[in-house]
A = this chain, B = another copy of it.
Amino acid sequence: MFDQVSIIGCGLIGSSVLRRINKNKSVKKLVCYDNNKSVCEIIKKKNLSNNLATSPVEAVKNSDLILISIPLSSFENLINSIKDNLKPGSILMDTCSVKTGVDNIVKKLKIKNSTWIPGHPVAGTENSGPNAGFSDLFQDRWTILTPDKNVKDSEIKKATLFWESMGSKVKIMSVQDHDKIISLTSHLPHVIAYNIVKTVMSSDDKTKNDIVRYSAGGLRDFTRIAASDPIMWKDIFIDNSSLIIDAIDRFSESLSQFKKAIEEKNSEKLLQIFEKSKEFRKSIIKAGQDTDKPDFGRK
Protein backbone atom coordinates (compact mmCIF):
# COMPACT_ATOMS: atom_id res chain seq x y z
CA MET A 1 0.00 0.00 0.00
CA PHE A 2 2.73 2.42 1.09
CA ASP A 3 6.39 1.70 0.45
CA GLN A 4 7.63 3.82 3.31
CA VAL A 5 5.72 4.85 6.43
CA SER A 6 6.94 7.19 9.18
CA ILE A 7 5.55 7.29 12.70
CA ILE A 8 6.31 10.47 14.64
CA GLY A 9 5.58 10.00 18.33
CA CYS A 10 5.64 6.46 19.74
CA GLY A 11 3.35 6.57 22.76
CA LEU A 12 0.27 4.39 23.28
CA ILE A 13 -1.18 5.15 19.82
CA GLY A 14 2.04 5.46 17.79
CA SER A 15 3.57 2.30 19.23
CA SER A 16 0.35 0.37 18.65
CA VAL A 17 0.38 1.39 14.98
CA LEU A 18 4.02 0.31 14.87
CA ARG A 19 3.20 -3.07 16.36
CA ARG A 20 0.35 -3.62 13.93
CA ILE A 21 2.43 -2.68 10.88
CA ASN A 22 5.13 -5.08 12.05
CA LYS A 23 2.54 -7.80 12.46
CA ASN A 24 0.98 -7.11 9.05
CA LYS A 25 4.38 -6.97 7.30
CA SER A 26 2.67 -4.61 4.84
CA VAL A 27 5.31 -1.88 4.60
CA LYS A 28 8.74 -2.03 2.99
CA LYS A 29 10.37 0.56 5.21
CA LEU A 30 9.11 1.75 8.55
CA VAL A 31 10.77 4.79 10.16
CA CYS A 32 10.09 6.11 13.67
CA TYR A 33 10.89 9.23 15.60
CA ASP A 34 10.28 10.29 19.18
CA ASN A 35 11.89 13.27 20.94
CA ASN A 36 11.88 11.40 24.25
CA LYS A 37 15.03 9.28 24.73
CA SER A 38 13.46 6.82 27.13
CA VAL A 39 10.70 6.15 24.59
CA CYS A 40 13.38 5.43 21.95
CA GLU A 41 15.11 3.04 24.37
CA ILE A 42 11.87 1.07 24.77
CA ILE A 43 11.31 0.97 20.97
CA LYS A 44 14.82 -0.48 20.55
CA LYS A 45 14.56 -2.86 23.48
CA LYS A 46 11.25 -4.25 22.27
CA ASN A 47 12.58 -4.51 18.70
CA LEU A 48 9.70 -2.45 17.35
CA SER A 49 11.79 -0.66 14.72
CA ASN A 50 15.20 -0.86 13.04
CA ASN A 51 14.87 2.65 11.66
CA LEU A 52 14.89 5.10 14.51
CA ALA A 53 15.50 8.56 13.03
CA THR A 54 17.42 11.19 14.96
CA SER A 55 15.33 14.14 13.76
CA PRO A 56 11.81 14.73 12.44
CA VAL A 57 13.25 15.82 9.07
CA GLU A 58 15.25 12.61 8.73
CA ALA A 59 12.16 10.64 9.74
CA VAL A 60 9.84 12.02 7.07
CA LYS A 61 12.27 12.04 4.13
CA ASN A 62 11.02 9.86 1.26
CA SER A 63 8.02 8.65 3.21
CA ASP A 64 4.72 7.97 1.45
CA LEU A 65 2.72 8.16 4.66
CA ILE A 66 3.60 10.27 7.69
CA LEU A 67 1.55 9.61 10.83
CA ILE A 68 1.93 12.15 13.62
CA SER A 69 0.91 10.92 17.03
CA ILE A 70 2.04 13.58 19.50
CA PRO A 71 0.26 15.93 21.93
CA LEU A 72 -1.28 19.03 20.35
CA SER A 73 1.00 21.32 22.35
CA SER A 74 4.01 20.06 20.32
CA PHE A 75 2.15 19.89 17.02
CA GLU A 76 2.90 23.32 15.52
CA ASN A 77 6.64 23.07 16.11
CA LEU A 78 6.74 19.63 14.57
CA ILE A 79 4.81 20.60 11.43
CA ASN A 80 7.01 23.67 11.06
CA SER A 81 10.15 21.56 11.12
CA ILE A 82 8.97 18.99 8.53
CA LYS A 83 6.74 20.99 6.18
CA ASP A 84 9.39 21.69 3.54
CA ASN A 85 10.73 18.13 3.54
CA LEU A 86 7.69 16.10 2.68
CA LYS A 87 7.83 13.77 -0.34
CA PRO A 88 5.68 14.91 -3.28
CA GLY A 89 2.48 12.85 -3.37
CA SER A 90 2.75 11.74 0.23
CA ILE A 91 -0.07 11.70 2.79
CA LEU A 92 0.19 13.44 6.15
CA MET A 93 -2.05 12.16 8.96
CA ASP A 94 -2.40 12.67 12.70
CA THR A 95 -4.25 10.95 15.56
CA CYS A 96 -5.31 13.87 17.79
CA SER A 97 -8.64 13.61 19.62
CA VAL A 98 -9.65 17.14 18.58
CA LYS A 99 -9.51 18.03 14.89
CA THR A 100 -10.04 21.83 14.80
CA GLY A 101 -6.69 22.77 16.34
CA VAL A 102 -4.44 20.53 14.24
CA ASP A 103 -6.40 21.39 11.11
CA ASN A 104 -5.91 25.11 11.69
CA ILE A 105 -2.18 24.65 12.32
CA VAL A 106 -1.59 22.65 9.15
CA LYS A 107 -3.59 25.12 7.05
CA LYS A 108 -1.83 28.11 8.57
CA LEU A 109 1.63 26.66 7.93
CA LYS A 110 0.78 25.76 4.29
CA ILE A 111 2.47 22.36 3.94
CA LYS A 112 3.81 21.57 0.50
CA ASN A 113 3.63 18.43 -1.64
CA SER A 114 1.63 16.37 0.82
CA THR A 115 -2.12 15.69 1.27
CA TRP A 116 -3.35 16.41 4.79
CA ILE A 117 -5.91 13.92 6.11
CA PRO A 118 -6.63 14.48 9.81
CA GLY A 119 -7.68 11.35 11.69
CA HIS A 120 -8.79 10.16 15.11
CA PRO A 121 -8.72 6.47 16.08
CA VAL A 122 -11.40 6.26 18.80
CA ALA A 123 -9.43 3.75 20.83
CA GLY A 124 -7.18 3.93 23.81
CA THR A 125 -6.80 2.84 27.38
CA GLU A 126 -6.07 4.71 30.59
CA ASN A 127 -2.41 3.75 30.23
CA SER A 128 0.04 5.76 28.16
CA GLY A 129 3.52 5.34 26.70
CA PRO A 130 5.07 2.74 24.37
CA ASN A 131 4.86 -0.07 26.91
CA ALA A 132 1.07 0.28 26.98
CA GLY A 133 0.61 -0.20 23.22
CA PHE A 134 -0.58 -3.42 21.56
CA SER A 135 -1.25 -4.46 17.98
CA ASP A 136 -4.99 -4.99 18.49
CA LEU A 137 -5.72 -1.58 20.01
CA PHE A 138 -7.69 -0.48 16.95
CA GLN A 139 -9.39 -3.80 16.21
CA ASP A 140 -13.11 -3.27 15.52
CA ARG A 141 -12.90 0.31 16.82
CA TRP A 142 -13.75 3.36 14.74
CA THR A 143 -11.26 5.69 13.13
CA ILE A 144 -12.76 9.01 12.05
CA LEU A 145 -11.08 10.85 9.15
CA THR A 146 -11.88 14.53 8.61
CA PRO A 147 -10.33 15.56 5.25
CA ASP A 148 -11.23 18.83 3.52
CA LYS A 149 -13.83 18.66 0.76
CA ASN A 150 -11.20 19.28 -1.92
CA VAL A 151 -9.10 16.22 -0.99
CA LYS A 152 -9.11 13.66 -3.80
CA ASP A 153 -11.10 10.44 -3.28
CA SER A 154 -8.05 8.40 -4.26
CA GLU A 155 -6.10 9.85 -1.33
CA ILE A 156 -8.97 9.34 1.13
CA LYS A 157 -9.17 5.75 -0.11
CA LYS A 158 -5.48 5.21 0.71
CA ALA A 159 -5.91 6.63 4.21
CA THR A 160 -9.00 4.47 4.72
CA LEU A 161 -7.19 1.31 3.63
CA PHE A 162 -4.36 2.14 6.00
CA TRP A 163 -6.66 2.36 9.03
CA GLU A 164 -8.56 -0.72 7.92
CA SER A 165 -5.24 -2.55 7.89
CA MET A 166 -4.95 -1.49 11.56
CA GLY A 167 -8.21 -3.41 12.20
CA SER A 168 -10.31 -0.24 12.32
CA LYS A 169 -13.69 0.62 10.86
CA VAL A 170 -13.41 4.00 9.10
CA LYS A 171 -15.88 6.89 9.00
CA ILE A 172 -15.44 10.17 7.10
CA MET A 173 -16.97 13.33 8.57
CA SER A 174 -16.33 17.04 8.89
CA VAL A 175 -13.94 18.50 11.46
CA GLN A 176 -16.91 20.28 13.07
CA ASP A 177 -19.15 17.21 13.36
CA HIS A 178 -16.26 15.19 14.76
CA ASP A 179 -15.40 17.70 17.47
CA LYS A 180 -19.02 18.05 18.53
CA ILE A 181 -19.69 14.31 18.84
CA ILE A 182 -16.43 13.63 20.64
CA SER A 183 -17.08 16.51 23.04
CA LEU A 184 -20.07 14.46 24.25
CA THR A 185 -18.83 10.86 23.99
CA SER A 186 -15.34 11.40 25.29
CA HIS A 187 -14.50 14.90 26.54
CA LEU A 188 -17.54 15.41 28.78
CA PRO A 189 -17.12 11.96 30.42
CA HIS A 190 -13.49 12.81 31.14
CA VAL A 191 -14.39 16.22 32.61
CA ILE A 192 -16.94 14.51 34.83
CA ALA A 193 -14.61 11.71 35.87
CA TYR A 194 -11.92 14.19 36.92
CA ASN A 195 -14.45 16.17 38.90
CA ILE A 196 -15.96 13.26 40.69
CA VAL A 197 -12.49 12.20 41.80
CA LYS A 198 -11.75 15.83 42.76
CA THR A 199 -14.95 15.99 44.81
CA VAL A 200 -14.34 12.85 46.84
CA MET A 201 -10.68 13.77 47.30
CA SER A 202 -11.72 17.02 48.97
CA SER A 203 -13.08 15.00 51.92
CA ASP A 204 -11.28 14.87 55.27
CA ASP A 205 -8.50 12.28 55.67
CA LYS A 206 -10.46 9.71 57.68
CA THR A 207 -13.29 9.73 55.13
CA LYS A 208 -10.78 9.59 52.26
CA ASN A 209 -9.27 6.33 53.53
CA ASP A 210 -12.73 4.80 53.79
CA ILE A 211 -13.57 6.08 50.30
CA VAL A 212 -10.63 4.22 48.79
CA ARG A 213 -11.62 1.07 50.66
CA TYR A 214 -15.28 1.08 49.58
CA SER A 215 -14.76 2.46 46.07
CA ALA A 216 -16.09 -0.71 44.42
CA GLY A 217 -19.60 0.72 44.77
CA GLY A 218 -19.23 2.77 41.57
CA LEU A 219 -16.40 5.23 42.12
CA ARG A 220 -13.58 2.99 40.88
CA ASP A 221 -14.97 3.01 37.32
CA PHE A 222 -14.63 6.80 37.21
CA THR A 223 -11.08 6.72 38.54
CA ARG A 224 -10.07 4.57 35.57
CA ILE A 225 -11.11 7.28 33.12
CA ALA A 226 -9.56 9.95 35.31
CA ALA A 227 -6.18 8.19 35.18
CA SER A 228 -5.56 8.91 31.49
CA ASP A 229 -2.55 10.79 30.14
CA PRO A 230 -2.51 14.29 31.79
CA ILE A 231 -0.66 16.22 29.03
CA MET A 232 -2.92 14.88 26.33
CA TRP A 233 -6.07 15.74 28.25
CA LYS A 234 -4.89 19.22 29.18
CA ASP A 235 -4.37 19.84 25.42
CA ILE A 236 -7.76 18.41 24.52
CA PHE A 237 -9.66 20.49 27.07
CA ILE A 238 -8.00 23.68 25.92
CA ASP A 239 -8.25 22.88 22.20
CA ASN A 240 -11.93 21.94 22.24
CA SER A 241 -12.84 24.36 25.02
CA SER A 242 -15.91 26.02 23.56
CA LEU A 243 -17.70 22.74 22.71
CA ILE A 244 -16.68 21.24 26.05
CA ILE A 245 -17.96 24.28 27.96
CA ASP A 246 -21.19 23.93 26.04
CA ALA A 247 -21.42 20.26 27.10
CA ILE A 248 -20.62 21.15 30.73
CA ASP A 249 -23.43 23.72 30.72
CA ARG A 250 -25.90 21.18 29.38
CA PHE A 251 -24.75 18.67 31.99
CA SER A 252 -25.08 21.21 34.81
CA GLU A 253 -28.61 22.05 33.72
CA SER A 254 -29.48 18.33 33.72
CA LEU A 255 -27.91 17.88 37.16
CA SER A 256 -29.86 20.72 38.72
CA GLN A 257 -33.13 19.25 37.41
CA PHE A 258 -32.11 15.90 38.86
CA LYS A 259 -31.26 17.46 42.20
CA LYS A 260 -34.70 19.06 42.23
CA ALA A 261 -36.32 15.65 41.64
CA ILE A 262 -34.39 14.23 44.62
CA GLU A 263 -35.30 17.21 46.82
CA GLU A 264 -38.96 16.81 45.91
CA LYS A 265 -38.71 13.02 46.34
CA ASN A 266 -40.25 12.74 42.89
CA SER A 267 -40.18 8.95 42.35
CA GLU A 268 -41.90 9.06 39.00
CA LYS A 269 -39.47 11.52 37.47
CA LEU A 270 -36.47 9.54 38.78
CA LEU A 271 -37.81 6.22 37.49
CA GLN A 272 -38.38 7.79 34.08
CA ILE A 273 -34.75 8.91 33.88
CA PHE A 274 -33.45 5.51 35.00
CA GLU A 275 -35.53 3.55 32.50
CA LYS A 276 -34.28 5.74 29.66
CA SER A 277 -30.68 5.23 30.76
CA LYS A 278 -31.13 1.45 30.67
CA GLU A 279 -32.49 1.69 27.13
CA PHE A 280 -29.52 3.79 26.06
CA ARG A 281 -27.08 1.26 27.55
CA LYS A 282 -28.83 -1.47 25.54
CA SER A 283 -28.37 0.50 22.31
CA ILE A 284 -24.64 0.82 23.00
CA ILE A 285 -24.27 -2.90 23.58
CA LYS A 286 -26.35 -3.60 20.47
CA ALA A 287 -24.03 -1.32 18.47
CA GLY A 288 -21.12 -3.54 19.56
CA GLN A 289 -19.49 -0.74 21.54
CA ASP A 290 -19.36 -2.57 24.86
CA THR A 291 -19.62 -5.96 26.51
CA ASP A 292 -22.81 -6.97 28.30
CA LYS A 293 -20.86 -9.02 30.82
CA PRO A 294 -21.60 -7.59 34.28
CA ASP A 295 -18.86 -5.41 35.72
CA PHE A 296 -17.16 -5.38 32.26
CA GLY A 297 -16.36 -9.03 32.89
CA ARG A 298 -14.01 -8.08 35.74
CA LYS A 299 -15.06 -11.32 37.45
Contact = CB atoms under 8 A, between A and B. Distances in A.
Contact of A142 (B214, B228, B287): B214
**Stoichiometry, copies per complex:** 2
Interface in A115-160: 122-127, 132, 134, 136, 141-142, 144
A39 interface: no
B194 A273 contact: yes
Nearest to A255: B195
A1 interface: no
Contacts of A141: 216
Interface size class of chain A, counting residues whose CB lies under 8 Å from the partner chain: 35 or more
A193 B251 CA distance: 11
B263 A182 contact: no
A273 B262 CA distance: 29
Interface of A: 97, 122-127, 132, 134, 136, 141-142, 144, 171, 177, 180-182, 184-203, 207, 210-228, 230-231, 233-234, 237-238, 241, 244-245, 247-248, 250-252, 254-256, 258-259, 262-263, 265, 267, 270-271, 273-278, 280-284, 287, 289-291, 294-299
30 contacts: A122-B214, A127-B294, A171-B213, A184-B219, A185-B215, A188-B196, A189-B219, A189-B221, A189-B222, A193-B277, A194-B273, A194-B277, A197-B277, A212-B280, A214-B289, A215-B287, A216-B290, A221-B221, A223-B290, A230-B275, A238-B262, A238-B267, A241-B262, A248-B259, A248-B262, A252-B252, A291-B298, A296-B296, A296-B297, A296-B298
